[in-house]
């Protein structure tokens, strides 16, 4: 269950882009959390930080490479020393890069695994160490249908997302009894983004019919997971438009 805010507490979103990650950060900021958002380029975070502040929330952006252990450790240390305890970690890095298995390179395969899986481990471990010591906290992983089945031309992405889901399962079983809620969210379907608007206009036209995912609605489910009472925690939540095939 969401811990009452007795002092400044932080919701840290790793991979805070213009759509899902940003919407999640805004949702937690509206509940009084300090939204700390991170991606490799800090400059790209400024519009999101400004938007949260304009809504009356607190927000801070950090440039950090989520694949580098030393960067991740420094990020967590800086945030907790400056703003307060990290109560919520959202890992939202995607790495959805299609390629035929006949053409895939070892270098790109490894990079996709680094982005979608290794970085999830590095950030979740830093969060878990702090949350276990305090006896509470929430760690939420953004997954995809690729975590459940591998589609043609997505071998690298599916392998990384399968591994991320396994990481989440293991952490949930280990950390749940110690007060930390770990959950994995399967997001399946096109999301309302500029990329979809520009590159898939026919798919985007389904928006008015509820045929693509609204980032704000995704974010509401992340808040719901964090707010659950401990006796009814969800591990896996599947989000998809009603017309998306299973």
- What is the structure's pLDDT at 79? 98
Predicted pLDDT at 104: 96
Domain assignment present for 3: no
DSSP class of 207: G
Predicted pLDDT of residue 100: 97
Number of independent structural domains in the chain: 1
DSSP summary character for residue 193: S
In a domain, 244, yes or no: no
pLDDT at residue 71 in the model: 97
Handedness of CA 46, 217, 33, 36 (dihedral sign): negative
Residue 1 lies in a domain: no
Q: Is residue 4 part of a domain?
A: no
Q: Which domain holds residue 149?
A: 10-239
pLDDT digits (tens, 9 = 90+) for 59-89: 999 999 999 999 999 999 999 999 999 999 9
Report pLDDT for 84: 97
Instruction: Detail the DSSP E strand segments found in 94-160.
Output: 137-143
Q: Kindly state whether residue 60 falls inside one of the protein's structural domains.
A: yes
Q: What are the distances in angstroms from CA 229 to CA 1, 3, 170?
A: 4, 10, 21
Torsion of CA 224, 228, 233, 236, to 10 degrees: 0
pLDDT of residue 158: 96
**What local confidence, expressed as pLDDT, does residue 32 receive?**
97
Q: Which residues of the chain have pLDDT under 70?
A: 1-6
Instruction: For residue 142, tell me if it sits in a domain.
Output: yes
Q: Is residue 39 in a domain?
A: yes
DSSP state of 35: E
How far, in Å, CA of 18 to CA of 232, rounded?
Answer: 31
For position 121, which CATH number holds?
3.40.50.720
pLDDT of residue 213: 94
pTM: 0.94
Q: What is the rounded distance in angstroms from the CA atom of residue 96 to the CA atom of residue 73?
A: 25
Query: Is residue 152 a part of any domain in this protein?
Result: yes
């Amino acid at each position: 269950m969401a811990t009452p805010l007795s002092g400044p507490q932080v919701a840290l979103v790793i991979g805070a882009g213009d759509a899902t990650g940003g919407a999640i950060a805004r949702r937690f900021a509206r509940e009084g959390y300090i939204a700390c958002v991170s991606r490799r380029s800090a400059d790209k975070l400024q519009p999101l930080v400004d938007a949260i502040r304009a809504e009356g929330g607190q927000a801070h952006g950090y440039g950090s490479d989520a694949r580098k252990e030393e960067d991740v450790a420094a990020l967590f240390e800086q945030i907790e020393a400056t703003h307060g305890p990290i109560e919520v970690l959202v890992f939202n890095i995607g790495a959805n890069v299609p390629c035929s298995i006949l053409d895939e390179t070892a270098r790109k395969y490894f990079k996709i695994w680094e982005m979608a899986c290794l970085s999830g481990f590095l950030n979740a471990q830093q969060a878990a160490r702090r949350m276990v010591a305090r006896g509470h906290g929430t760690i939420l992983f953004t997954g995809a249908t690729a975590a459940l089945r591998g589609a043609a031309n997505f071998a690298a992405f599916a392998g990384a997302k399968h591994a991320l889901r396994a990481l989440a399962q293991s952490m949930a079983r280990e950390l749940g009894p110690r007060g930390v809620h770990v959950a994995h969210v399967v997001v399946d379907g096109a999301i309302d983004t500029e990329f979809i608007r520009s590159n898939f206009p026919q798919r985007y036209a389904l928006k008015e019919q509820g045929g693509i995912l609204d980032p704000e609605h995704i974010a509401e489910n992340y808040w719901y997971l964090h707010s659950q009472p401990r006796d009814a925690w969800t591990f896996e939540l599947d989000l998809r438009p009603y017309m998306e095939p299973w």
